[in-house]
Amino acid sequence: MSDNCTGDCSPRLRRDEASEPLPFLDSLMDFERGRLSRRVYWDSLIYQHELEKIFARSWLFLGHDSQLPKSGDYLTTSMAEDNVIVVRQKDGSVKAFLNTCPHRGNRITFSDMGNTRSFICNYHGWSFGIDGALRGMAGQELFEASGMDKKEHGLHPVAQVASYKGLIFGNMDPGAPSLESYLGDFRYYLDVMLDMDGQGTEFIGGPVKSIINCNWKVPTENFIGDIYHALWTHDSAARAILGGPVSPVYEDTDSYHVNHNGHGWEFNLDTVGNAATLGDKEIRKYLYSIQPLVAQRLGELRSKMIGSISSATVFPNLSFLPGQNTFRVWQPRGPGKIELHTWTIVNKSAPEDIKERWRKGAMLTFSPSGIFEMDDGENFEFSTRSNGGFVTRQQDLYMGLGEGTALPQSDMPGNVFRNQVNEANHRAFYQRWLDLMKARNWAEVPVRDTNRLDEAAFKHADAANVAKDAA
């Protein structure tokens, strides 16, 4: 983890005092009875607190290393509603800054991405280095005569920037735990996507951006563990691609929900089930061809997850689908609206032809015109919109599916539950949400999940893999 503040761009603005937690939070959910208040989807007061207590404190996805290969490469993205510039430094590190000028607040850059030696504000022409420092301005001597110290007026830095196996994250809270600790044992599962063969991953194309009129938590819940909907919602689209009916499996001894720190992954062990929905057998062949290497590096179990029927969310709003390889952030834009950013993620070492097949497959299934995305978008919008009625919004929702399915003796890390058709990950997501919404700072966030794999185990596994790769 690296601190993003440098001498040139130290934050001069005092953080606002945190607002008091909302008094009614405990009444919004009852984990024992599997109840959730619809208020979490429509209340603008809750949404404003989410911006502060969830998004301004959590590690949020900023970009992939492959998007910023050279010094001066930058991209712009959002950390919830805060627009930020993410830029590769001369020393190879990455820094991030609010994309707003500290003079009169104009937006600094309007590009999605590019390469530059400096950023220049359109309004009065202040110029900033890629390290965020204020370099110069028209009429500089007048500012100096006013007693202004340039060092205090750089771009406002994102407090922490760190990466995990190619994924760059930022955190606005200097008091937040490290990214390693935030991800914890969930890294064991992330490696299924990020570290199949030791060569890393890359994004191809994107972001594809679209607007969906839904609350950000609706799709987040969907991807954290809702295979249940796929058996019904996506049945006709799946038939069109697979050429026959999908036989629903509601009780499956070889499928799981796992979660840790509010992140969740549901999965089957069928190796290529998700990939099969792309309708391209070359992709399945590729996955089978690398499975032995994955088994050698990550073990038999994880080698069966590489393209299986599965979905995952990193708390709070980063989701992906192994197999279809869509990778996405649900950017909140108010209680009833999101901007969805998606990319296709592939193994860097995959043949070019396979990468292109994956890009097309992801467009066919999970893009604004994708057959599964259209199914989902309609559900997301109506699940949000129908909560607006005065009487409707007072009715609770059920999220108790799979109570009693925990497998505390499992060898797998994290909290493990049997059966993919489950709502265990929904409940874990909302427990984390509630913990953060109630806490005044990170010190007050209860530690519910201790790591079952310790740091040494992760480091040892990494070192062993490096040694194997080198051999």
Give the binding site for ligand FES (CB under 6 A): 101, 103-104, 106, 121, 123-126
Shortest distance, position 327 Cβ to Fe ion, whole Å: 15
Q: Which of 26, 229, 353, 469 is catalytic?
A: 229
Instruction: Report d(CA 324, CA 468) in Å as an integer.
Output: 28
- Residue 266 interacts with Fe ion (CB under 5 A)? no
234 is catalytic: yes
Q: Which of 376, 426, 435, 449 is catalytic?
A: 376
Given a contact cutoff of 8 angstroms between Cβ atoms, the answer to whether 272 and 308 are in contact is yes
376 is catalytic: yes
49 is catalytic: no
Smaller CB separation from ligand FES, 124 or 459: 124
153 is catalytic: no
Given a contact cutoff of 8 angstroms between Cβ atoms, the answer to whether 276 and 263 are in contact is no
Burial 106-135 (b: 16+ CB within 10 A, else e): eebbeeebeebeebbbeeeebebbbbbbbb
Shortest distance, position 131 Cβ to ligand FES, whole Å: 18
Angle at 380 between CA 45 and CA 425, to 5 degrees: 80
Per CB under 5 A, the segment of 11-19, 65-73, 312-320, 369-377 that binds Fe ion is 369-377
Q: Which does 126 bind (CB under 5 to 8 A by kind): Fe ion, ligand FES, none?
A: ligand FES
Shortest distance, position 140 Cβ to ligand FES, whole Å: 12
Dihedral angle sign, alpha carbons of residues 445, 447, 453, 454: positive
Shortest distance, position 121 Cβ to ligand FES, whole Å: 3
The token duo for 195 is 């570290």
- Residue 376 interacts with Fe ion (CB under 5 A)? yes
Q: Which does 468 bind (CB under 5 to 8 A by kind): Fe ion, ligand FES, none?
A: none
- Residues, the chain: 471
Q: Which does 376 bind (CB under 5 to 8 A by kind): Fe ion, ligand FES, none?
A: Fe ion
Per CB under 5 A, the segment of 250-258, 334-342, 376-384, 408-416 that binds Fe ion is 376-384
- Angle, helices 281-298 vs 455-470, to 10°: value is 110
Instruction: Report d(CA 123, CA 106) in Å as an integer.
Output: 7
Contacts of 300 (CB under 8 A, 6+ apart): none
Shortest distance, position 152 Cβ to ligand FES, whole Å: 15
Q: Which residues are catalytic?
A: 124, 226, 229, 234, 376
User: Which residues of the chain form contacts with Fe ion (CB under 5 A)?
Assistant: 376
